[in-house]
Amino acid sequence: MKILSNIYIKHCILTFIFLAFIVTKSLSYAKDNQLNVSVPNFPPFNSFNENKHCKGASVLAIQAVLEKLNVSIEIFPYPYARILHSLKTGELDLALILHNSRIDNDVVYIGPLSLSKIILLTPSGISIRCYNDLYQLKNIAVIRHAQFNEQFDQDNTLHKITVDSYEQAINMLEMARVDGVIGSKIGLEYALRQQNMDLSLISNAFELGTKELGLHLAKNSSFITLLPLLTTAVQDNYRQDLLYQLYQHQIKYCVTNKKSSQVKSTDSLN
């Protein structure tokens, strides 16, 4: 029994040394190499139109996660579709986006870091009370390749028009080219502000629940060994309304035009 006990102790020590070596090598590699990260290339996630030097909510969130990992990062704001493609090819190591099952075979999902409230905006003359009411809409603007709600995403009977940004979607709503826009509450709220449109459209929007926001780590990334550290960092930084809080902070301190005083939230989720 004593011999078996000694063998077990030696095994534990060797395992600990091996794991310590792996973590040390990972941190050393990360310090000497650049982590290519992406967020959607439209405000308020990458920046704010009123102040291009003001970091977007998603940029702040991902910097908070990576702060203690001692890694060199470069952020590439890409269109949603390109983010997914670049994670597949390995051009990107990491992205902070709404959980997207399209690339489940190519990434490791680490999340949630935060939750996003998903809403569907309509003009003031159209009221959506339940999901079936969506079939009365002629055209619904959707960010290309984004996923918002499982039922909606898989519903091929709805007439959807793909767009590249919330600003484009709200433009189309204003010009009556679409009569519905789906997306993250803070993204649509900010886009309405940019078009000087009535923010009461937010409070009258149809809610489709929440969607997880998390890291998507490319499986063929050389930083895949950082998975345990990234997982811990996400867990440590998780807050249900993290992105919303960051957005509100930036609205308060970065947006200098007088429209910022009109921004009012109806609840605590983005």
pLDDT at residue number 137 = 98
Among 9-23, 67-81, 146-160, which stretch is predicted with the lowest mean pLDDT?
9-23
Hey, is 58 helix, strand or coil? Answer: helix
Among 8-22, 37-51, 54-68, 201-215, which stretch is predicted with the lowest mean pLDDT?
8-22
pLDDT surpassing 90 at residue 257: no
pLDDT at residue number 143 = 97
pLDDT at residue number 18 = 46
pLDDT surpassing 60 at residue 32: no
Site of tokens 């449109």? 197
AA identity, residue 100: N
- Give how far the C-alpha of residue 12 lies from the chain's centroid of Cα atoms, to the nearest Å: 39
Task: Cite the beta strand spans of 14-148 per DSSP E.
Answer: 34-38, 47-48, 51-55, 72-75, 94-98, 107-121, 140-143
pLDDT at residue number 28 = 45
3-state SS, one letter per residue, for 128-150: CCCHHHHHHCCCEEEECCCCCCH
- Euclidean distance between CA atoms 230 and 108, whole angstroms: 11
Read off the pLDDT of each residue in 231-249 and give the average, rounded to a whole number.
97
Query: In 110-237, where does DSSP find H-type helix?
Result: 150-154, 166-174, 185-194, 200-203, 227-237
The predicted-structure confidence for 182-204, as pLDDT tens digits, reads as follows: 999 999 999 999 999 999 999 99
Cα dihedral 159, 270, 210, 43, rounded to 10, equals 50
pLDDT surpassing 80 at residue 14: no
pLDDT at residue number 261 = 43
- Euclidean distance between CA atoms 41 and 167, whole angstroms: 11
Read off the pLDDT of each residue in 56-73 and give the average, rounded to a whole number.
95
- Euclidean distance between CA atoms 235 and 113, whole angstroms: 7
For the chain, the domains span 2-115+212-262, 117-211
AA identity, residue 151: Q
Backbone angles phi, psi at 198, to 5 degrees: -65, 120
Read off the pLDDT of each residue in 163-171 and give the average, rounded to a whole number.
97
Domain 2-115+212-262, CATH: 3.40.190.10
117-211 CATH choice from 3.40.50.620, 1.10.1520.10, 3.40.50.450, 3.40.190.10 = 3.40.190.10
Among 48-52, 148-152, 187-191, 204-208, which stretch is predicted with the lowest mean pLDDT?
48-52
